[in-house]
Amino acid sequence: MFGNCAETVSILYAIVFGADGACIEMSTASILTAFGAFMVLVVIAQFFARRLWQKLTQRPAPIEDTSIDPSGDTPFRDDPNYRDSAIRSTKR
């Protein structure tokens, strides 16, 4: 089981390329390097998953009513929810 090794590789190298009969180095640096690479992959996967989720849950843009003639009686459109609106309720 524990024979002589011709080569010793780190954990990250063994995961990416395979050990192929070589011994795997179980040092702190080897473990932390593999863990760091795993964390980088998790952060990248979260970034893409959040962007994908945002696109999937995004509501379509509201369709503006084009049936109102802009050159009619109203010289401008005003949002009544806006604080400095020209048309606003007296209850504040």
For residue range 28-48, what is the model confidence (pLDDT) as tens digits?
999 999 999 999 999 999 999
CA gap 68, 87 in Å, rounded = 18
pTM of the model as a whole: 0.55
- Higher pLDDT: 18 or 85? It is 18
Burial class of residue 11 in the structure, from the number of CB atoms within 10 Å of its CB (0-12 exposed, 13-18 middle, 19+ buried): buried
User: Which sequence spans correspond to the domains of the chain?
Assistant: 8-56
- Give per-residue pLDDT as tens, 52-62: 999 999 887 77
Q: What pLDDT is recorded for position 60?
A: 78
Q: What pLDDT is recorded for position 6?
A: 82
